[in-house]
């Protein structure tokens, strides 16, 4: 709320490319952070004014030192704060009065050690003056293009086209150094710390407009607001890649229903990245390797990957890797093969991988790369090279680069792998400097290509059909919930939950509540035999466990018997259970059992779960999650990605199940829990019976747990 007072992105300029910087807590003592920051600004050749602030010094590292912010005559765009935590609030006020815009708080000792109040006061004060806060508890901000090392990290990173945003300060410093040895270049490094004000989403929003950033690389521990992250990423025009560490605290209340206990926070993050159009990395190496490719190359927009190699072994390794990373190879078409055959010895192979053999010199590489790059069948190219006695690694690197240029193709990606010694290493450096990502292992070059494919895929997924929800009766749902609350309950009975489901268009069984045996008989006749009978009690959530379910009840006598048995069982199960009656239901024909559910995640709000029912969910936990609302593309993907997917597709001679109806129901369900997010904390439909194609599905059991109010 408070953020609305401040024009966000403009002020972020003052953080990421300030025109002048005051270092509050600047020091003349080497080793102190206040000394290091001033030294770093000087050494990075920062071109704006630097004002060291310290009442007990007159000069620091040759710069005039000021006793306080007020004493500075000129404008101060950003202030970097390195003084102890207890001083920061006072300094915030001073900076505010001076008209500082970017407030970069390196100091730690706030929220991360439990002092949230002080942190909030600082943000409030800063925002009141129109300042934005980066941090606290950060290393600082580094920018090659801005010639600015406003941090206590030792030097600017290896120069390049990516921006790294890190929630861990120590890791940022380590990766800063590693950028040189790994040869992965960054224009900016941003340490984001406690995210008291400026969070990952704000930073991405700014970097998306930054013309020096071509790929946004994230080290994430957790978000405060997962939904704003998704929204910002969806709009971003450049690739974003995230490495997620740890598992967030799952904020949902104790798992009263099934979904709660199955909800894995890590799974939700993975899905959220996908839904946001964000590529994922598996570890730090992978983050570096993929960042390099994403910052230098266009996405891989089709399935046809061609590998060119001078060694059979690395070709096979790369082929295996391609399958492992989801971009399996296919044979090149005849015309491609015929042409490539002209540029290799007889014993070479023009299939895919294209093996131009160990005799290959620069010209063969040039010809093969130029031709392949330009051929419409080829969507992307991985070039492998094993160092040989008959070839020159550097010459080949230059040849590959030249061939790409000559092909005139700019919208297809290429990655390279050299296996060899020092000459190969140097040649790879040269390639990277010339915009071609090169890696020391074929596996890595393929993985980088897979990242470019993943980027294209997640972006395609964002172009979704709009789901139309007709006939939603929100008022009716709210009324049912309000009545249950008035009754002093925080859960709905199956009958009530189904009414809520029906109000959102979900296909439910016919249900009638019987209070007496005679009424039960009457209602069973109305529905038609066979029927299902179940206890309706807010005190019995798992009805079968209580002996409270009878299926396939065939006649009047059966109804009377079942009525008595269910009542007796339920009372035996819980002596003073409040029993509303017994529900008489149509007996749904057999279908494949699936479970739909929702749980409220602390970070992402209502999330949707889907899986196969029965032992698949109980034992195998074969379920998948999405942040709501679930788009139709995502719903289809959910159905396809569980291990049990072949069962729905029609395994072992079974007819395929109605997955279109199922996808629609997932969308409707997700819409329901999002729309009722203030009311519902957890819910499930377990089971839903799914029928053959065209026959739809039916919800036979329903459960809703309300938010405590
Ligand atoms: P529980 O509270 O034990 O989960 P359910 O309502 O899910 O109770 O009923 C238990 C099982 O009975 C279901 O898993 C399903 O196999 C079957 N069942 C319940 N209702 C129906 C129905 N209307 N038609 C067909 N089968 C049903
Ligand atoms: Mg059930």
pLDDT digits (tens, 9 = 90+) for 443-454: 999 999 999 999
Q: In the numeric block, which tokens belong to residue 493? A: 């009975």
pLDDT > 90: what percent of the chain?
A: 85
What is the rounded distance in angstroms from the CA atom of residue 148 to the CA atom of residue 43? 9
* Confidence at 11, pLDDT banded by 50, 70, 90: confident
Q: Half-sphere exposure of residue 151, counting CA atoms within 13 Å on the CB side?
A: 31
Between the CA of 536 and the centroid of ligand 1 the distance, in Å, is 13
C-alpha of 215 from chain center: 16
> DSSP strand E in 537-631: where?
549-553, 581-586, 592-601, 605-612, 623-627
Q: Half-sphere exposure of residue 262, counting CA atoms within 13 Å on the CB side?
A: 29
Between the CA of 504 and the centroid of ligand 1 the distance, in Å, is 21
* Confidence at 498, pLDDT banded by 50, 70, 90: very high
pLDDT beyond 80 at 146: yes
588 lines ligand 1 (CB under 6 A): yes
Q: Which residue is associated with the tokens 């024909």?
A: 589
585 lines ligand 1 (CB under 6 A): yes
> Which residue has the CA at smallest separation from atom 6 of ligand 1?
701
Q: In the numeric block, which tokens belong to residue 699? A: 């919800």
Between the CA of 529 and the centroid of ligand 2 the distance, in Å, is 21
* Confidence at 113, pLDDT banded by 50, 70, 90: confident
Contact 287, 281 (CB under 8 A): yes
Smallest CA-to-CA distance from 273 within 232, 239, 230 is with 230
* Confidence at 619, pLDDT banded by 50, 70, 90: confident
- Name all contacts of 587-591 with Cβ < 8 Å and 24+ positions apart: 587/530, 587/531, 587/532, 587/551, 587/552, 587/553, 588/509, 588/532, 588/689, 588/698, 588/700, 589/689, 589/691, 590/689, 591/657, 591/689, 591/690, 591/691, 591/697, 591/698
pLDDT single digits (tens) 596-613: 999 998 889 999 999 998
Between 144 and 345, name the one with better pLDDT. 144
Nearest-5° Cα angle at 128, 124 to 134: 55
Between the CA of 489 and the centroid of ligand 1 the distance, in Å, is 23
Helix, coil or strand: residue 281: strand
Q: Which residue is associated with the tokens 């074969």?
A: 622
Nearest-5° Cα angle at 233, 269 to 607: 35
What is the rounded distance in angstroms from the CA atom of residue 542 to the CA atom of residue 703? 10
Buried b / exposed e along 327-345 (16+ C-beta atoms within 10 A): bebeebeeebeebbeebbe
Q: How far separated are the first and last CA of the chain, in Å rounded?
A: 23
pLDDT at 247: 46
pLDDT single digits (tens) 267-278: 788 899 999 999
Question: For residue 135, how many other CB atoms are within 10 A of its CB?
Answer: 30
> Which residue has the CA at smallest separation from atom 16 of ligand 1?
687
Instruction: Looking at the CA of 573, name the nearest ligand.
Output: 1
Between the CA of 559 and the centroid of ligand 2 the distance, in Å, is 21
pLDDT at 266: 65
The pLDDT mean for the chain works out to: 93
Between the CA of 701 and the centroid of ligand 1 the distance, in Å, is 6
* Confidence at 343, pLDDT banded by 50, 70, 90: confident
Ligand 1 atom with minimal separation from the 701 CA:
6
What is the rounded distance in angstroms from the CA atom of residue 73 to the CA atom of residue 379? 58
698 lines ligand 1 (CB under 6 A): no
pLDDT beyond 50 at 265: yes
Mean pLDDT across 109-125:
93
Mean pLDDT across 555-561:
97
Query: Which of 700, 702, 703 is the best mutation target for the ligand 1 pocket, counting ligand atoms within 8 Å of the beta carbon and taking the most?
Result: 700
What is the rounded distance in angstroms from the CA atom of residue 506 to the CA atom of residue 466? 18
Between the CA of 494 and the centroid of ligand 1 the distance, in Å, is 11
Query: Which of 551, 562, 615 is the best mutation target for the ligand 1 pocket, counting ligand atoms within 8 Å of the beta carbon and taking the most?
Result: 551
> Which residue has the CA at smallest separation from atom 19 of ligand 1?
700
pLDDT at 8: 64
**Residues near 183 by Cβ (< 8 Å), separated by ≥ 6?**
158, 292, 428, 429, 432
Which DSSP string do the residues of 136-174 spell out, in sequence order?
SS--EEEETTTTEEEESSSSPPPEEEEEEEES-HHHHHH
What is the rounded distance in angstroms from the CA atom of residue 414 to the CA atom of residue 369? 10
pLDDT at 7: 59
pLDDT at 348: 86
pLDDT beyond 80 at 420: yes
Ligand 1 atom with minimal separation from the 542 CA:
2
Between the CA of 44 and the centroid of ligand 2 the distance, in Å, is 64
Query: Which of 536, 539, 549 is the best mutation target for the ligand 1 pocket, counting ligand atoms within 8 Å of the beta carbon and taking the most?
Result: 549
* Confidence at 651, pLDDT banded by 50, 70, 90: confident
Ligand 1 atom with minimal separation from the 614 CA:
14
Between the CA of 533 and the centroid of ligand 2 the distance, in Å, is 13
Mean pLDDT across 671-677:
96
Say if residue 325 is exposed, middle or buried (CB neighbours under 10 Å; 0-12, 13-18, 19+). Answer: middle
What is the rounded distance in angstroms from the CA atom of residue 292 to the CA atom of residue 286? 10
pLDDT beyond 80 at 129: yes
687 lines ligand 1 (CB under 6 A): yes
pLDDT beyond 50 at 166: yes
Contact 368, 340 (CB under 8 A): yes
Q: In the numeric block, which tokens belong to residue 192? A: 């984001």
Smallest CA-to-CA distance from 428 within 412, 411, 443, 445 is with 445
pLDDT single digits (tens) 83-92: 999 999 999 9
Backbone φ and ψ for 611, nearest 5 degrees, come out as -170, 175
Largest CA distance in the chain: 100
pLDDT beyond 60 at 344: yes
Q: Which residue is associated with the tokens 């993943």?
A: 454
Nearest-5° Cα angle at 14, 11 to 15: 100
pLDDT beyond 50 at 659: yes
* Confidence at 261, pLDDT banded by 50, 70, 90: very low
Min mean pLDDT across 4-13, 556-565, 676-685 is at 4-13
> Which residue has the CA at smallest separation from atom 13 of ligand 1?
687
What is the rounded distance in angstroms from the CA atom of residue 365 to the CA atom of residue 343? 8
Instruction: Looking at the CA of 699, name the nearest ligand.
Output: 1
* Confidence at 621, pLDDT banded by 50, 70, 90: confident
Q: Which residue is associated with the tokens 């992307």?
A: 380
Q: In the numeric block, which tokens belong to residue 673? A: 């829990």
Instruction: Looking at the CA of 498, name the nearest ligand.
Output: 1
Q: In the numeric block, which tokens belong to residue 399? A: 């040849």
pLDDT beyond 90 at 214: yes
Ligand 1 atom with minimal separation from the 544 CA:
3
Between the CA of 704 and the centroid of ligand 1 the distance, in Å, is 16
What is the rounded distance in angstroms from the CA atom of residue 187 to the CA atom of residue 163? 6
Instruction: Looking at the CA of 532, name the nearest ligand.
Output: 1
Mean pLDDT across 307-313:
94
Between the CA of 593 and the centroid of ligand 1 the distance, in Å, is 10
What is the rounded distance in angstroms from the CA atom of residue 298 to the CA atom of residue 641? 27
* Confidence at 345, pLDDT banded by 50, 70, 90: confident
pLDDT beyond 60 at 565: yes
pLDDT single digits (tens) 370-381: 999 999 999 999
Say if residue 482 is exposed, middle or buried (CB neighbours under 10 Å; 0-12, 13-18, 19+). Answer: exposed
* Confidence at 615, pLDDT banded by 50, 70, 90: confident
pLDDT single digits (tens) 483-492: 999 999 999 9
Rounded-to-10 torsion of CA 110, 116, 121, 123: 70
pLDDT beyond 90 at 468: no
Query: Which of 524, 544, 566, 684 is the best mutation target for the ligand 1 pocket, counting ligand atoms within 8 Å of the beta carbon and taking the most?
Result: 544
Ligand 1 atom with minimal separation from the 586 CA:
23
587 lines ligand 1 (CB under 6 A): yes
Between the CA of 144 and the centroid of ligand 1 the distance, in Å, is 63
Mean pLDDT across 115-120:
94
pLDDT beyond 80 at 282: yes
Which protein residues have their CB within 5 A of the ion that is ligand 2?
A: 686, 701
Instruction: Looking at the CA of 551, name the nearest ligand.
Output: 1
549 lines ligand 1 (CB under 6 A): yes
pLDDT at 707: 95
pLDDT single digits (tens) 184-207: 999 999 999 999 999 999 999 999
């Amino acid at each position: 709320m408070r953020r609305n007072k401040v024009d966000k992105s403009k002020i972020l300029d003052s953080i990421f490319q300030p025109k002048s910087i005051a270092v509050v807590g600047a020091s003349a003592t080497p080793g102190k952070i206040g000394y290091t920051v001033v030294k770093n600004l000087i050494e990075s050749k920062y071109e704006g004014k630097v004002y060291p602030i310290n009442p007990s010094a007159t000069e620091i590292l040759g710069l005039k030192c000021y006793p306080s912010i007020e004493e500075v005559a000129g404008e101060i765009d950003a202030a970097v704060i390195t003084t102890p935590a207890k001083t920061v609030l006072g300094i915030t006020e001073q900076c505010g009065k001076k008209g500082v815009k970017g407030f970069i708080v390196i100091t730690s000792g706030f929220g991360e050690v439990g002092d949230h109040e002080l942190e909030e006061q600082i943000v409030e004060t800063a925002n009141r003056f129109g300042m934005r806060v980066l941090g606290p508890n950060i290393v600082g901000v580094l920018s090659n293009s801005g010639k600015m090392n406003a941090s206590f990290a030792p030097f600017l990173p290896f120069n390049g086209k990516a921006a790294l945003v890190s929630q861990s300060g120590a890791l940022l410093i380590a990766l800063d150094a590693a950028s040189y040895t790994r040869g992965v270049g960054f224009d900016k490094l941003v340490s984001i710390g406690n995210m008291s004000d400026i969070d990952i989403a704000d930073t991405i929003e700014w970097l998306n407009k930054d013309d020096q950033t071509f790929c946004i690389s994230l080290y994430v521990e957790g978000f405060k607001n997962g939904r704003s992250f998704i929204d910002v990423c969806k709009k971003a025009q450049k690739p974003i890649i995230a490495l997620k560490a740890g598992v967030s605290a799952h904020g949902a209340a104790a798992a009263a229903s099934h979904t709660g206990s199955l909800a894995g926070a890590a799974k939700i993050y993975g899905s959220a990245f996908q839904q946001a159009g964000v590529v994922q990395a598996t570890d730090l190496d992978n983050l570096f390797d993929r960042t390099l490719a994403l910052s230098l190359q266009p996405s891989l927009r089709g399935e046809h990957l061609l590998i060119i190699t001078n060694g059979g072994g690395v070709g096979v390794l790369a082929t295996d890797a391609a399958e492992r990373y989801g971009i399996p190879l296919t044979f090149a078409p005849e015309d491609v093969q015929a042409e490539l055959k002209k540029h290799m010895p007889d014993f070479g192979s023009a299939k895919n991988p294209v093996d131009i053999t160990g005799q290959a010199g620069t010209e063969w590489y040039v010809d093969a790369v130029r031709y392949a790059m330009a051929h419409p069948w080829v969507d992307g190219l991985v070039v492998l090279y094993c160092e040989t006695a008959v070839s020159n690694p550097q010459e080949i690197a230059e040849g590959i680069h030249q061939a790409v240029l000559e092909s005139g193709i700019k919208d297809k990606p290429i990655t390279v792998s050299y296996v060899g010694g020092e000459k190969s290493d140097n040649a790879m450096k040269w390639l990277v400097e010339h915009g071609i990502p090169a890696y020391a292992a074929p596996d890595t070059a393929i993985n980088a290509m897979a990242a470019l494919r993943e980027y294209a895929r997640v972006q395609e997924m964002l172009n979704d059909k709009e789901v139309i929800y007709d006939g939603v009766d929100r008022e009716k749902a709210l009324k049912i919930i309000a009545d249950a609350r008035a009754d002093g309950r925080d859960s709905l009975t199956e009958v009530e939950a189904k009414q809520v489901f029906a109000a959102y268009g979900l296909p439910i069984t016919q249900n009638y509540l019987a209070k007496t045996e005679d009424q039960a008989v009457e209602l069973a006749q109305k529905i038609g035999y066979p029927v299902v009978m179940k206890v309706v009690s807010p005190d019995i959530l798992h009805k079968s466990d209580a002996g409270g379910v009878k299926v396939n009840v065939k006649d009047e006598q059966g109804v009377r018997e079942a009525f008595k048995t269910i009542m007796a069982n339920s009372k035996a199960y819980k002596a003073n259970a409040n029993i509303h009656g017994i529900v008489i239901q149509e007996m749904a024909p057999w279908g494949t059992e699936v479970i739909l559910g929702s749980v409220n995640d602390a970070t992402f709000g209502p999330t949707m779960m889907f899986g196969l029912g029965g032992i698949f969910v109980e034992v195998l936990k074969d379920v998948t999650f999405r942040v709501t609302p679930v788009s139709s593309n995502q719903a289809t993907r959910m159905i396809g990605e569980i291990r049990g997917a072949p069962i729905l597709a029609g395994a072992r001679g079974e007819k395929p199940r109605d997955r279109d109806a199922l996808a629609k129901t997932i969308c409707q369900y997700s819409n329901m829990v999002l729309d009722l997010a203030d009311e519902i904390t957890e819910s499930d439909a377990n089971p839903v019976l799914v029928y053959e194609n065209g026959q739809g599905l039916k919800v036979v059991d329903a459960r809703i747990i309300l938010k405590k109010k």
